[in-house]
Chains A and B, each alone.
Chain A
Amino acid sequence: MRDKKQQTMTRSELDELQAERLREICQRVYEKVPAYTKKFDELGITPDDISHVEDVIKLPFTVKNDLRAAYPYDLFAVPISEIVRVHSSSGTTGQITVVGYTAEDLDMWSSLIARALDAAGADKSDIIQVSFGYGLFTGGLGVHHGVEHMGATVIPVSGGNTKRQIQVLADFGVTGFAATPSYALLVAETAQKMGVDFDDLPLRFGIFGAEPWSENLRTQLENAFGIEAYDIYGLSEVLGPGVGFECEQHDGLHINEDHFIIEILDTETLEPVEDGEYGEVAITTLTKQGIPLLRYRTRDISRIVPGECPCGRTTRRLERITGRSDDMLIIRGVNVYPTQIEQILLDIPEAAPHYQIILTKRGSLDDVEVRVELSDEVDFDEIKSLEAITKKVSGAIASALAVSVKVKLVEPGSIERSEGKAQRVVDLRGEGSQE
């Protein structure tokens, strides 16, 4: 295990370390970042009020809009001369936001990615293909430097050019593969069409993240590539990938608690909930220099997995993210995440694992249509067999999620494949009434 000391601290050792770092960071943002000075003043607190980890609940929240308001650099806690790199959020939900990293931040980030790779069984001898997009998105460069930090070999393919991805996977002795799960699925599908069989290749593990994905998709990717699939968690505002990662137990993502305080908040009251309860994930960065954030509300919904992990790490585990509260659909009063629909579709062999959820408005009601690609294997000549598939899918969704949705079968290959984050939900409700 890398950084064994940091990953196996007792709770009291960790509390002490977190408290010390929390005091420092509060002092720093209070002095250096006017937006935080204002937030502290409004709550009538000063950094001196923070002495223990539990005091984190006294601190102000940070939300996405704070980052938007600070666009581009106003939340930076160091002069721009100290910043060595800038990334930005992918802008999937609105205006982009900007984050800056000092050299020290990049070292820390790389070391955390290396912990994740190490947990996936990687070492210096591995050859890791990074198929996350390189650029403003944190996925590509973040994982890239983590692989180098560990001393393994990185193949910086970036996203896109799927046939070349497959050629590299097949010819370069690649042992590990990092991508968004939806893009990995496209690579698997394309490889199958090209007749490439991964079973005889040294490929052993995959690191997938940057979007929510289901357990069924994990199984599908593991079978398609002949690998063990590991989830990785992070978001650009807080760091990028590497905030948390799965170990070989695949039972939650170990949070790097020496660098982050994680809280789960009741979505109504924003009060912390007990371990094991679901709520919104809030993260406080403890060591980031460039853009430290206090209690950043991620809008990700999850919970702390109770108990100790048999892997030996003592860091708490975040359950895999089912969805971001932004992605949550409220269908006639029932909360539904796109990943839940994915999980259902992957159990139905007649449906390809490509889907899109279309939201429209009919009068005052939201109408939900799930577009499902027909699998290539299905005999579509008889209408009755197609109607049986439609019924099977809507029946499975109705019984699992207690909502009725319209299911529309579409041509194989017709749902746009993403080379980065997949767009699962298309919201047309703002485009006038569609009666």
Chain B
Amino acid sequence: MKQLSVFLENSPGRLAEATRILGEAGHNMHALMVADTEDFGVARIIVNDPEGAATALKDKGISAQVHDVCAVAITDKPGELGELLDIIATRNFDISYCYCFVHPVTGGAVNVFRLDSAECIPSIVEAGYRVLELEDLNA
């Protein structure tokens, strides 16, 4: 799945400005996660058209990029995420970050991972999980 990433300086109103630009350009967000440090933040956003959203932001002088992430559908119940993470861990893949959201179309939770290697994905699929694409969220 493609994810939109936005580099934001830590200053009041910067995230508001970015989300307003996306809203005005008609981009609806499925999920948003902000990683923050002392000086800056990175907002990771799941949005229908990440390339178009990145262009809309860049046109307004906001730094935006599109990256590959791995989105996995799981059942929304206790213990499910742990099982999935075990599979990734036993195969020695590193997770840079992950976040979860609940999506009505998939009927459960979606876990988004940034992995150090895309080679992890076949083993997730083999283990019986569904790896999602953006179209799956828009269905």
Contact status of A381 and B42, CB under 8 A, knowing A374-B63, A411-B9, A412-B63: yes
B27 at the interface (CB under 8 A from A): no
A277–B96 Cα distance when bound, in Å, is: 53
B130 at the interface (CB under 8 A from A): no
A386 at the interface (CB under 8 A from B): yes
For residue B40, give the distance in angstroms from its CB to the closest CB of chain A.
Answer: 6
The answer to whether A411 and B7 touch across the interface, beta carbons within 8 angstroms, is yes
A39 at the interface (CB under 8 A from B): no
B124 at the interface (CB under 8 A from A): no
Among B97-128, those with CB < 8 Å from A are 97, 114
Residues of B within 8 A of A411 (CB): 7-9, 40, 62-63
The answer to whether A381 and B39 touch across the interface, beta carbons within 8 angstroms, is no
B90 at the interface (CB under 8 A from A): no
A410 at the interface (CB under 8 A from B): yes
Residues of B within 8 A of A380 (CB): 5, 7, 42, 63, 65
A356–B8 Cα distance when bound, in Å, is: 18
The number of inter-chain residue pairs (CB within 8 angstroms) is 47
The answer to whether B114 and A382 touch across the interface, beta carbons within 8 angstroms, is yes
B20 at the interface (CB under 8 A from A): no
Contact status of A410 and B40, CB under 8 A, knowing A380-B7, A381-B114, A384-B96: yes
Q: How large is the interface on A (under 10, 10 to 19, 20 to 34, 35 or more residues)?
A: 10 to 19
Residues of A within 8 A of B9 (CB): 410-411, 414
List, sorted by A's number, 17 A–B pairs whose CB atoms are closer than 8 Å: A374-B7, A374-B63, A379-B65, A380-B7, A381-B5, A381-B67, A382-B97, A383-B35, A384-B96, A386-B42, A387-B37, A408-B40, A409-B40, A410-B40, A411-B8, A412-B7, A413-B63
Residues of B within 8 A of A408 (CB): 39-40
Residues of B within 8 A of A412 (CB): 7, 63
A305–B8 Cα distance when bound, in Å, is: 46
A408–B7 Cα distance when bound, in Å, is: 13
A222–B105 Cα distance when bound, in Å, is: 55
For residue A355, give the distance in angstroms from its CB to the closest CB of chain B.
Answer: 15
B61 at the interface (CB under 8 A from A): yes
A383–B39 Cα distance when bound, in Å, is: 11
Residues of A within 8 A of B35 (CB): 383
A411–B42 Cα distance when bound, in Å, is: 11
Among B29-55, those with CB < 8 Å from A are 35, 37, 39-40, 42, 44
The answer to whether B39 and A409 touch across the interface, beta carbons within 8 angstroms, is yes
A387–B37 Cα distance when bound, in Å, is: 9
Count B interface residues, CB 8 Å: 19
Among A400-433, those with CB < 8 Å from B are 408-414
A386–B38 Cα distance when bound, in Å, is: 12
A414–B37 Cα distance when bound, in Å, is: 18
A146–B69 Cα distance when bound, in Å, is: 59
* In the complex, per-residue mask of A376-396: 1 if CB is within 8 Å of any chain B CB, else 0: 100111111011000000000
Beta-carbon nearest neighbor of B35 in chain A: A383
Among A72-125, those with CB < 8 Å from B are none
Residues of A within 8 A of B3 (CB): 381
For residue A354, give the distance in angstroms from its CB to the closest CB of chain B.
Answer: 13
The 3 A-B residue pairs whose C-beta atoms are closest, nearest first, are: A381-B5, A380-B7, A408-B39
A160–B71 Cα distance when bound, in Å, is: 47
A412–B35 Cα distance when bound, in Å, is: 18
Most A C-beta atoms less than 10 A away, residue of B40, B62, B67: B40
Residues of A within 8 A of B44 (CB): 381
Most B C-beta atoms less than 10 A away, residue of A376, A383, A409, A412: A383
Beta-carbon nearest neighbor of B36 in chain A: A383
A383–B114 Cα distance when bound, in Å, is: 12
* Besides the known contacts A374-B63, A413-B61, 11 further A-B residue pairs in the complex with CB atoms under 8 A apart: A380-B5, A380-B63, A383-B42, A383-B97, A386-B42, A408-B40, A409-B39, A409-B40, A410-B9, A411-B7, A412-B63
Q: Which of these, B37, B62, B65, contacts A381 with CB under 8 Å?
A: B65
The answer to whether B37 and A383 touch across the interface, beta carbons within 8 angstroms, is yes
A413–B62 Cα distance when bound, in Å, is: 9
For residue A15, give the distance in angstroms from its CB to the closest CB of chain B.
Answer: 57
Residues of B within 8 A of A410 (CB): 9, 39-40
A387–B97 Cα distance when bound, in Å, is: 15
A379–B66 Cα distance when bound, in Å, is: 9
For residue A367, give the distance in angstroms from its CB to the closest CB of chain B.
Answer: 14
Among B48-96, those with CB < 8 Å from A are 61-63, 65, 67, 96
A352–B67 Cα distance when bound, in Å, is: 21
Residues of B within 8 A of A414 (CB): 9
For residue A305, give the distance in angstroms from its CB to the closest CB of chain B.
Answer: 41
The answer to whether B37 and A386 touch across the interface, beta carbons within 8 angstroms, is yes
